[in-house]
Amino acid sequence: MLGMTEQTGEYVIAKNGAIRDPVSGRIVANPGGGTTAITPANASEYHQLYAQKRLEAELAAGRGLARVAVSGPSEFDAWSDIAENMAGLALHSDPKYGRVSVEAARVVGQMTGFIAERGRNTGELPANTLQITLNNDGLAAIMAGILPILRNSGDDSE
């Protein structure tokens, strides 16, 4: 790894001067800038700062949405307008729209809750969904309970 790092003994010195333990992958010293490293002591502070900046960004985005809303004065009206426009794209059957209509349908489905959006690269489901894993016996028991109901639905003779 010439050029990327310089190895000295059991530690690796990175380009920026930080000294890293190659086994754990953690920075053990930062002689060049000491205060810029995230450590267990300052991680909470950085987390709070990140949460504050994210909230400020969300509020700013909401104000921006409210300014462009067509159907009303709030960011919710803007989201409604966006959903309406995306739904219009999703309903196009013309092949010239190609994948745009599929992606628009996915966005509208996620916005409205008809399609659950999985967490980014984690495979986790969002809080408003539930996933059940059944073995064959469990599935057979559920189907045995549902099938008589389905067979009798629409039967007005009773």
On average, the pLDDT of the chain sits at 77
Cβ proximity of 83 and 73 under 8 Å: no
Highest mean pLDDT among 29-43, 45-59, 84-98, 115-129: 45-59
Per the structure, the count of domains in the chain is 2
Does any domain span residue 155? no
Residue 76 in this model has a pLDDT that exceeds 90: no
Same structural domain, 17 and 61: no
Residue 107 lies in a domain: yes
17 and 69 housed in the same domain: no
In a domain, 92, yes or no: yes
Determine the structural domain holding residue 69 and report its residue range: 43-112
Burial class (CB in 10 A: 0-12, 13-18, 19+), 104: buried
Please report the pLDDT score of residue 2 as a whole number: 34
The predicted-structure confidence for 99-116, as pLDDT tens digits, reads as follows 888 888 888 888 877 776
Mean pLDDT to the nearest integer, 43-57? 90
How far apart are the C-alpha atoms of 88 and 132, rounded to whole Å? Answer: 34
Residues 130-147: pLDDT tens digits?
777 878 888 888 888 888
DSSP secondary-structure letter at 101?
H
Cα distance between residue 91 and residue 101, in whole Å = 7
**Mean pLDDT score, 15-20:** 78
List, as one string, the DSSP characters of 11-49: EEEETTS-EE-TTT--EEE-TTTGGGS--TTTHHHHHHH
Considering the chain, what percentage of its residues have pLDDT values greater than 90? 5
- pLDDT tier, 52 (very low <50, low <70, confident <90, very high otherwise): very high
